[in-house]
Structure 1
Amino acid sequence: MTSIATEDDGPADAEPEVSRQPAADTPATGYVAVSAGTSHSCAITVAGEIECWGNRADRRLDAPEGTYSAISAGHRHSCALSTEGEIACWGSNDFGRLESPSQSDFVAIDVGRFHSCALTVDGTTHCWGGTGVGSLSEQGRPGESYKDIAVGDEVKCALTQVGHLDCWGGWGVHRTPSESFVSVVGEGEFWCALASTGQLSCWSTTSWPGFQRPDDGTFTEVSVSETQGCAIRADAQIVCWGKTRNAGVPAGEFTSLAAGPDHACAIDNVGEIACWGDAYEAAEDPPPDRFTALAAGNSHTCGFKEDGTTRCWGLLPGIMVEDLGALASISAGWDHTCGITNDGQAICRGFDYSASRDVAPGLYTAVSLHEHHACALGTDSRLVCWGRNGSGQTDAPPGRYSAVAAGRRFTCAITIAGRALCWGASGYGRTDPPAGTYASIVAGWWHACALTTQGEAVCWGRNDFGQMDVPDGTYASISTNQRHTCAVTTDGELRCWGFNDLGQLDVPSGSYTDVVTGLNHACALTTEGRAVCWGHGDRGAFRAQ
């Protein structure tokens, strides 16, 4: 997302992000600029150094050393302007995001989702990266000199020296206001420009209705994303509109701000950063409690405490465990949680999916759930499943079983004789387990894994990210999700394999007894009963509430 000020005090901020606050180890040294990307944020300290926090995938937190005057965080990359006028970019280089010009006469920069643009001292535009829709072939009106520039997904808008708007890139005709402005910001189809009088104009670059804006008033700075906008009023107070409106907006006086699609950050008049909104990346540790077992869902994690109670953290943990009471076992699904009470009842909480709503009555010893269905193991060793059944995933074969695992549109179980059976969606061979005698079983999105009675880990199904490439060893526990798998060896070593775009394989050192995997994160239980998590804390999967 981008932000603009009425005075020429540096380039605009950019893009969207989500972090309720800087990471715990971000030094509070005072900041002069902040920018919010899709899943990371960056700021410039009073010393001119860059600090970044949030999603570390693609090395997007690896800010370069040096002193900088402007920063812009994007979807998977960031760029900054050094005090010498040079551009430094880091993060993902797909679409040529990092291939910036090498000259040293730049005065402004802005980053979009796939590409970036900068202005030289003489007002010339330079753009790089992009998906091929007007991102490189058009650099602005030939011979025109610009004083500010903003980058959206495909569209770029710049202000001429007299304050008129030029927009190019993308598709169709760009309808823009005709007034004279001092700064411009945009993201996606939504744009705002600020006049020297503090008046704010907002519009859409497509045929969509005009982008809403705050009530009449005068403003000193504005920032927009594809879902919301925030501005600083003349009295230094913040007002937001769109998706989050004014929910969570801090009180106080502020000098700069940056709005993401689900969050925003601002710098107050003493140089401290305040962030609010939805935190996709949470670097905080799990609760300090001691646990005896863990369960991981898409964006939350739950654990059994030593005193017999259950605690969840991550996305809406109160809803995930609300009124569950004392439990004998627990399973975390997409955005919901189910448990078996001490008297054998199945109980579920969370979002109103059929897996949590249509709980089948009965007495159970264990339960497993995924996105929209669940299966429970009865006290008579028979299976009962409920929820959506579009692929036959709840059509459990008759028989007696010792374990069950619900995957994405398929289910696997182990018979009391140790044979693995799977049913439901059969794509990628996920319902074709190899022959063997098994003790435990887990199911992910398109593959499943099981441990034999000798501790050998065996996986079947889709292997496009190496999630089935089991390292040699003897294992005591195994867990899998979409693109990665983790297991604990019989001597307590933790191992993970598969895709590592969000740090899913960056396992911590130590000795462990169990491991669970979420969509993009994992948590393990140490021999001391502590929970340790790593990977991408999607919507706060790591954050204790």
Structure 2
Amino acid sequence: MTRSLRLVLGLAATLSACDYYALEGLSLVAPMGSIVVGDTTSLSVVNMGGAVRPASGVSWSSSDETVATIDANGTVLGIGPGTTQIQANSGDYELRVPLLVLELAGPFRTVVVGVDHACGLDVEGDSWCWGRNEFGQLGTSDPPDACPLPFFGGSVPCAVGAVRVAAEPFVDLVGGQYHTCGLTAEGRAYCWGLNENGQLGDGTAVSGPVPLPVAGDHRFRTLAASERRTCGVREIDDALLCWGLGPFPIDDGEAAALTEPARVAGPLTFSSVAVGRVTCGVSTEGDTWCWGDADRGALGVPAEALTCDADPCMVPQRVADAPAFVGVAVGTAFACGLSAEGAAWCWGANEIGQLGDGTRVDRSTPAPVQGDPVFDALDADYDAACGLSSSGPLLCWGQIEAGFGRGDAPAQGDFPVEVAPEVDAMHTSIGFSTQCAVDTLGVARCWGQSGWGILGHGLEPGPEVLLPTRVVRHPTYASPRLGSD
């Protein structure tokens, strides 16, 4: 009679597609590809009939106990990053399964998500990126993986786990669709990735993986980026400088693209700015100004009150009937402002609940988000916005292709809905079909599309993951900090 054993691994670990092992009539199914350092998971041997063999009938071992250990009861503990073989001996049979132990990336302070890549800034000021690298958006010329290109065949360079960007330390990161920029403690801006429209600001239109300084001797107070443009508030005079693909309200008319910083919005000075198809900024006098696509009230001004004749509008418009905002966030055709008291007000397109006011009616002037939630910060992109609070859950509204981190996608809400309840989020970023959040311990979690490694979970890209999954350091690669040995 042929005897068969099946090794079943617990679900406390990061899951991957099942691997199947067979040896002389024995079968081994391992529905686990990896665990994270510090995690435990339980293993057991099951007879062909489904009966679990008692622990006394199985002996366990790990080929490398610096990577993982396993006790007499079949409990595995991740010790350090690497690969080991977990071995089960029962009677005359011996079965092995490879186990990859991964190390959490971070701890992070912030994370930014593009179309198919993401980057995080850790507490030491180092930048880490994961996902697709076709344009150098990971900040490395030597990505460790090749990810399949859906529909077209072939593959693209990528990283399924976080790799360190070879750059000096930053205090902030901002990201566009295919590029990322960092701000140093001295106010210097460095950018990398796609540059066909000059969004890196280095005076060229050449894309690349090496973080290069933005042209000019500028010191910036804050940066913002979206799609194919970047802007920064200059420290010395609070002027707003932008580069990349317009529209930009500049003195000598609209430029198709700016490859290095140029002052925009005339004499206005700003304390903060948000960039998208609409660009909005809070002036140093406390007013909010917007310009760009004027359709559907996205500039916060009724159509009859606009002071420009063209769309996109090249003249900054003062948002009407708005409280004094301390920050703004912009999506595709809408914007939201955050008051000093933590109230969120939104205006613009609202066909899928982007304004969070409980309706689907476009508004050309700000309306309060339903429920009067109190936030510390806002984030918006595409067709959704989110609010973060140190004393409450992560709340989002509109439609997020990545889902609300609860197993559903796409997800839509006409009013604030709790997102990723298991994550005590202190920072979040909405991407095209992926969302990431950083919790109070600095752990980054992502959910949504998993193609090109954008979830950063260290496993091969596969189907979308609709629950938050932790970002890990890439198991085989991390580039050094610039200037290190």
Match of 1:376 in 2: 232
TM-score (norm 1): 0.46
Alignment partners' CA distance in 2, 1:476 and 1:356 = 30
Q: Of 341, 348, 351, which aligns to 1:454?
A: 341
Alignment partners' CA distance in 2, 1:323 and 1:467 = 37
Please report how far the alpha carbon of residue 418 of structure 1 lies from its aligned counterpart in structure 2 after TM superposition: 2.4
Please report how far the alpha carbon of residue 337 of structure 1 lies from its aligned counterpart in structure 2 after TM superposition: 0.4
Match of 1:318 in 2: 139
Match of 2:17 in 1: 26
2:241 maps to amino acid: V
Match of 2:190 in 1: 347
Please report how far the alpha carbon of residue 500 of structure 1 lies from its aligned counterpart in structure 2 after TM superposition: 4.4
Alignment partners' CA distance in 1, 2:184 and 2:403 = 34
Match of 2:92 in 1: none
Please report how far the alpha carbon of residue 335 of structure 1 lies from its aligned counterpart in structure 2 after TM superposition: 0.5
1:405 maps to amino acid: A
Aligned positions of 1:134-153 closer than 5 A: none
Contact 1:363–1:378 (CA under 8 A) maintained in structure 2: yes
For 2:200, what is the secondary structure of its paired residue? Answer: helix
Please report how far the alpha carbon of residue 367 of structure 1 lies from its aligned counterpart in structure 2 after TM superposition: 0.9
Structure with the bigger percentage of strand:
2
Match of 1:156 in 2: none
Match of 1:484 in 2: 384
Contact 2:139–2:166 (CA under 8 A) maintained in structure 1: no
Please report how far the alpha carbon of residue 444 of structure 1 lies from its aligned counterpart in structure 2 after TM superposition: 1.9
Match of 1:542 in 2: 455
Q: Deviations over 1:116-138 (max 9, x none)?
A: xxxxxxxxxxxxxxxxxxxxxxx
Q: Deviations over 1:139-187 (max 9, x none)?
A: xxxxxxxxxxxxxxxxxxxxxxxxxxxxxxxxxxxxxxxxxxxxxxxxx
Match of 1:437 in 2: 324
Q: Deviations over 1:81-124 (max 9, x none)?
A: xxxxxxxxxxxxxxxxxxxxxxxxxxxxxxxxxxxxxxxxxxxx
Structure 2 residue runs of 5 or longer lacking an equivalent are 1-13, 32-96, 142-163, 204-213, 255-261, 301-318, 357-368, 407-418, 457-471, 475-485
Alignment partners' CA distance in 2, 1:481 and 1:402 = 20
Please report how far the alpha carbon of residue 474 of structure 1 lies from its aligned counterpart in structure 2 after TM superposition: 0.6
Match of 2:424 in 1: 511
Alignment partners' CA distance in 2, 1:451 and 1:529 = 24
Structure 1 residue runs of 5 or longer lacking an equivalent are 1-22, 32-45, 52-271, 273-283
Match of 1:525 in 2: 438
For 1:539, what is the secondary structure of its paired residue? Answer: helix
Q: Of 268, 273, 295, which aligns to 1:404?
A: 273
Please report how far the alpha carbon of residue 471 of structure 1 lies from its aligned counterpart in structure 2 after TM superposition: 4.5
Match of 2:395 in 1: 495
Alignment partners' CA distance in 1, 2:129 and 2:348 = 31
1:345 maps to amino acid: R
Alignment partners' CA distance in 2, 1:538 and 1:499 = 20
Alignment partners' CA distance in 2, 1:399 and 1:306 = 34
For 1:499, what is the secondary structure of its paired residue? Answer: strand
Q: Deviations over 1:367-405 (max 9, x none)?
A: 111112111011122211111224649842422211011
Alignment partners' CA distance in 2, 1:370 and 1:286 = 31
Please report how far the alpha carbon of residue 323 of structure 1 lies from its aligned counterpart in structure 2 after TM superposition: 3.6
Please report how far the alpha carbon of residue 448 of structure 1 lies from its aligned counterpart in structure 2 after TM superposition: 1.5
Aligned residues: 281
Aligned positions of 1:465-484 closer than 5 A: 465-469=352-356, 470-472=369-371, 473-484=373-384
For 2:296, what is the secondary structure of its paired residue? Answer: helix
Aligned positions of 1:328-367 closer than 5 A: 328-353=171-196, 354-357=198-201, 358=203, 359-361=214-216, 362-367=218-223
Cα 1:413–1:390, aligned 2, differ >3 Å: closer, same or farther? Answer: closer
Cα 1:304–1:484, aligned 2, differ >3 Å: closer, same or farther? Answer: same
Alignment partners' CA distance in 2, 1:349 and 1:325 = 13
Match of 1:464 in 2: 351
Alignment partners' CA distance in 2, 1:495 and 1:417 = 30
Q: Deviations over 1:478-498 (max 9, x none)?
A: 111112222213413111222
Alignment partners' CA distance in 2, 1:471 and 1:534 = 26
2:234 maps to amino acid: G
Cα 1:538–1:455, aligned 2, differ >3 Å: closer, same or farther? Answer: farther
Residue identity (%)? 27
Would you say 1:292 and 2:109 are equivalent positions? Answer: yes
Cα 1:423–1:504, aligned 2, differ >3 Å: closer, same or farther? Answer: same
Alignment partners' CA distance in 1, 2:174 and 2:400 = 24
Alignment partners' CA distance in 2, 1:541 and 1:406 = 23
Alignment partners' CA distance in 2, 1:510 and 1:411 = 30
Cα 1:374–1:327, aligned 2, differ >3 Å: closer, same or farther? Answer: same
Structure of higher CA gyration radius: 1
Please report how far the alpha carbon of residue 531 of structure 1 lies from its aligned counterpart in structure 2 after TM superposition: 1.3
Would you say 1:388 and 2:241 are equivalent positions? Answer: no
1:24 maps to amino acid: L
For 1:326, what is the secondary structure of its paired residue? Answer: coil
For 1:342, what is the secondary structure of its paired residue? Answer: coil
Please report how far the alpha carbon of residue 360 of structure 1 lies from its aligned counterpart in structure 2 after TM superposition: 4.5
Alignment partners' CA distance in 2, 1:451 and 1:540 = 33
Q: Deviations over 1:469-526 (max 9, x none)?
A: 1442111121111122222134131112222443245332242222221112222221
Q: Of 275, 281, 304, which aligns to 1:413?
A: 281
2:18 maps to amino acid: P
TM-score (norm 2): 0.52
Aligned positions of 1:67-146 closer than 5 A: none
Alignment partners' CA distance in 2, 1:326 and 1:477 = 24
Alignment partners' CA distance in 2, 1:460 and 1:384 = 25
Contact 1:324–1:348 (CA under 8 A) maintained in structure 2: no
1:318 maps to amino acid: G
2:375 maps to amino acid: Y
